């Protein structure tokens, strides 16, 4: 059990073993503080044959009868079956004497005489039992009126003698309900505040994670501590997300401990900040979060550096797109660059001060020749060599002037700025940590900035073109799926990738209608079901934020106009399906979206 909260456990044990009480007890803690972890562990260690601990989440419950149904289902899982629910309705209509085989052993376990007018399965099966205690979780998230809920709790404790432990975020209860404290005195005798043993809870999270993720325990705990977050639920979600990212990483990168450490720290620190609401997508895309002087770096990276750029992480966290992860990992300094033309020269000069004089002179001449010949297509290799040459010039180890180096940079730019390797190399990861002498030389600051600016523009244009082509193919595939009713593609695109973010705004209404017009008749039902489920699930979210899907309303209105314009082209059955889609399905979509827009 949790040693930090041992005092709570002792009080709860005393409460459960004492004579019947007239009050419930409350265990409070902020969201994500570990209340559920604590109480689940308590239940595991304290449920006995004599006393069953039944936990019921009040999250979303609208009336007290739902609580009783869940208690009943805990004792007799069969009550959740369709057949039992049907039987219950039948009994309500006729009443009578009934034998119940609750355990499936073909023996009557319960014989009851039921008055159809006063039927309560809870009263019939549970009332009067003294072998269980009740734990009501998520009290602040219940939709039952607070006064009614507390009155019900008072009744089951005081009248029914059911010992009851309440789990809640009490500050939220106080904030949401002005009369809570005055009602509390009547119902709740003792309140205990959960103390967070983060390390113990994290260890429990990691036990259920893939074994490889457990190896990153130290980095995960250190990052969580640095975050000053108390929300363990966010951490649990981040562990699960990181496990998915790690599983997609090429195996050839997983043996580099320095890279994996940097990846873990970067992912967890950004994820925790995003989940706490500190970093938004817009702020991330500004490109300043990972700057050396930022508060984020000061907070999380007293040693080491983050990996990748803000734009990649924006794709990962806000679009679920990690398709560039392996490609960009291969370009990081942790791994040898396949594009480097002369690795031996650069490697040997890395510790030039230790070289024999003659060998050093020969290598410097090779370096000068390589730079002047503009032989390296790779901008990374060229700039590394130029940076090294400037170092030698500053220490009188080379006779090549700064003005010549500026000329070489201009020629390299002119020669290679449109080459695939030049536009395919991301320098943003290196600019911050490499090319120190190029950046610090007053004569080279402007030429270097010009070089890097033109490269960044070319690289970004190439990246956008790649993304555009990728997006175009995705839309083409969606049109095909609409025409054929391909459930896998429709579910992947609408339910998994865009459950709460716009997608239909990217489509052309006429092309979409053409897909329906030329597609299969059975495709209408598949599309209507899946697209409708997406809108329904989005409307059920507790906190819908900006209601982004309302932006799709105009698309559906355009589709209606397009269908009307093309109805005359359709065969009779296709025309019937199109009219049904236009007058029923689309009207339903628009109704849901318009209602959200007003709300």
Residue range 483-524, pLDDT digits in tens: 999 999 999 999 888 888 889 988 888 889 999 999 999 999
For 188, how many CA atoms within 13 A lie in the half-sphere containing its CB?
Answer: 20
Closest CA to 137 of 169, 173, 97: 169
Give me the mean pLDDT over the 333-350 stretch. 66
Between the CA of residue 486 and those of 138, 483, 522, 523, 527, what are the distances in Å? 40, 8, 10, 8, 8
Separation CA 292–CA 284 (nearest Å): 15
Separation CA 325–CA 555 (nearest Å): 33
Residue 345, pLDDT > 70, answer: yes
Separation CA 599–CA 595 (nearest Å): 6
Of 210-214, 383-387, 561-565, the poorest mean pLDDT is in 210-214
DSSP-assigned beta bridge partners for residue 544: none
Of 92-106, 143-157, 401-415, the poorest mean pLDDT is in 92-106
Residue 196, pLDDT > 80, answer: no
The DSSP line for 133-160 is EEEEE-GGG--S-HHHHHHHHHHHHHTS
Residue 546 per-residue DSSP state: T
Task: Work out the pLDDT band at 28, boundaries 50, 70, 90.
Answer: confident
What's the pLDDT tens digit per position in 69-100? 888 888 777 656 554 554 455 444 444 444 44
* Neighbouring C-beta atoms of residue 190, cutoff 10 Å: 14
Give me the mean pLDDT over the 521-534 stretch. 91
Residue 454, pLDDT > 90, answer: no
Separation CA 587–CA 532 (nearest Å): 11
What value does the mean pLDDT of the chain take? 81
Give me the mean pLDDT over the 539-546 stretch. 54
Using an 8 Å Cβ cutoff, are 234 and 31 in contact?
Answer: no
Q: Which residues contact 382 (CB under 8 A, 6 or more apart)?
A: 371, 374, 376, 412
For 484, how many CA atoms within 13 A lie in the half-sphere containing its CB?
Answer: 11
Please give the residue that has the higher pLDDT: either 260 or 210: 260
Using an 8 Å Cβ cutoff, are 165 and 134 in contact?
Answer: yes
pLDDT at 201: 67
Give me the mean pLDDT over the 229-236 stretch. 77
Share of the chain above pLDDT 70, in %: 83
pLDDT at 96: 45
* Neighbouring C-beta atoms of residue 349, cutoff 10 Å: 20
The top-level CATH class assigned to 6-196 is alpha beta
Residue 538, pLDDT > 50, answer: yes
Q: Which residues contact 430 (CB under 8 A, 6 or more apart)?
A: 333, 380, 383
pLDDT at 199: 65
Using an 8 Å Cβ cutoff, are 574 and 517 in contact?
Answer: yes
pLDDT at 274: 92
Closest CA to 145 of 58, 27, 31: 58
Closest CA to 384 of 329, 335, 357, 347: 347
Using an 8 Å Cβ cutoff, are 349 and 388 in contact?
Answer: yes
Residue 466, pLDDT > 50, answer: yes
The per-residue b/e assignment along 315-344, b for 16 or more CB within 10 angstroms, e otherwise, is: bbbeeeebebbeeebbbbebeebebbeeee
């Amino acid at each position: 059990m949790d040693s930090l909260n041992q005092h709570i456990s002792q009080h709860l044990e005393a409460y459960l073993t004492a004579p019947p009480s007239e009050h419930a007890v409350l265990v409070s803690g902020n969201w994500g503080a570990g209340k559920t972890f604590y109480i689940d562990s308590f239940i595991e260690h304290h449920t006995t044959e004599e006393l069953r601990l039944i936990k019921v989440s009040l999250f979303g419950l609208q009336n007290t009868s739902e609580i009783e149904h869940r208690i009943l289902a805990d004792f007799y899982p069969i009550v959740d079956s369709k057949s039992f629910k049907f039987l219950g309705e039948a009994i309500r209509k006729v009443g009578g004497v009934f034998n119940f085989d609750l355990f499936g052993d073909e023996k009557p376990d319960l014989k009851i005489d039921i008055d159809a007018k006063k039927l309560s399965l809870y009263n019939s099966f549970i009332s009067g039992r003294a072998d269980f205690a009740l734990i009501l979780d998520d009290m602040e998230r219940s939709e039952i009126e607070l006064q009614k809920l507390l009155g019900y709790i008072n009744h089951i404790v005081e009248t029914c003698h059911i010992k009851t432990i309440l789990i809640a975020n009490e500050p939220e209860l106080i904030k949401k309900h002005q009369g809570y404290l005055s009602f509390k005195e009547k119902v709740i005798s003792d309140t205990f505040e959960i103390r967070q043993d983060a390390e113990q809870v994290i260890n429990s999270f990691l036990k259920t994670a893939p074994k490889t993720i457990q190896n990153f325990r130290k980095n995960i705990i250190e990052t969580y501590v640095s975050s000053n977050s108390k929300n363990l639920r966010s951490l649990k979600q981040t562990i699960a997300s990181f496990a998915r990212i790690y599983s997609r990483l090429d195996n050839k990168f997983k043996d580099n401990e320095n890279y994996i450490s940097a990846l873990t720290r970067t992912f967890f620190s950004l994820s925790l900040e995003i989940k706490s609401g500190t970093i938004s997508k817009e702020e991330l895309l500004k490109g300043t979060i990972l700057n050396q002087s930022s508060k984020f770096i000061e907070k999380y990276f007293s040693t080491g550096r983050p990996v990748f750029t803000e734009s990649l992480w924006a794709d990962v966290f806000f679009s679920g797109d990690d398709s560039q992860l392996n490609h960009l990992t291969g370009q990081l300094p942790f791994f040898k660059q396949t594009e480097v033309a002369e690795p031996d020269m650069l490697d040997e000069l890395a510790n030039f001060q230790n070289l024999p004089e003659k060998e050093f002179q020969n290598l410097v001449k090779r370096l000068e020749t390589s730079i002047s010949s503009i032989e390296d297509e790779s901008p990374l290799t060229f700039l590394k060599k130029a940076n090294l040459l400037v170092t030698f010039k500053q220490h009188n180890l080379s006779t090549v002037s700064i003005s010549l180096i500026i000329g070489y940079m201009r020629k390299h730019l002119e020669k290679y700025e449109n080459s695939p390797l030049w536009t395919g190399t991301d320098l943003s990861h290196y600019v911050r940590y490499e090319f120190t002498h190029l950046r610090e030389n007053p004569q080279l600051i402007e030429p270097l900035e010009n070089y890097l600016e033109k490269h960044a523009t070319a690289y970004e244009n190439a990246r956008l073109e790649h993304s555009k082509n990728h997006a175009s193919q995705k839309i083409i595939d969606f049109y095909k799926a609409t025409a054929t009713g391909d459930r896998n593609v429709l579910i992947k695109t609408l339910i998994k990738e865009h459950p709460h973010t716009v997608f239909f705004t990217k489509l052309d209404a006429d092309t979409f209608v053409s897909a329906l017009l030329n597609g299969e008749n059975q495709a209408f039902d598949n599309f209507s079901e899946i697209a409708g489920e997406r809108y329904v699930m989005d409307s059920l979210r507790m906190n819908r934020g900006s209601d982004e899907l309302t932006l799709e309303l105009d698309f559906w209105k355009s589709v209606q106009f397009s269908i009307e314009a093309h109805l005359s082209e359709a065969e009779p059955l296709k025309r019937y399906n199109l009219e049904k889609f236009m007058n029923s399905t689309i009207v339903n979509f628009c109704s849901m979206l318009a209602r959200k827009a007003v709300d």
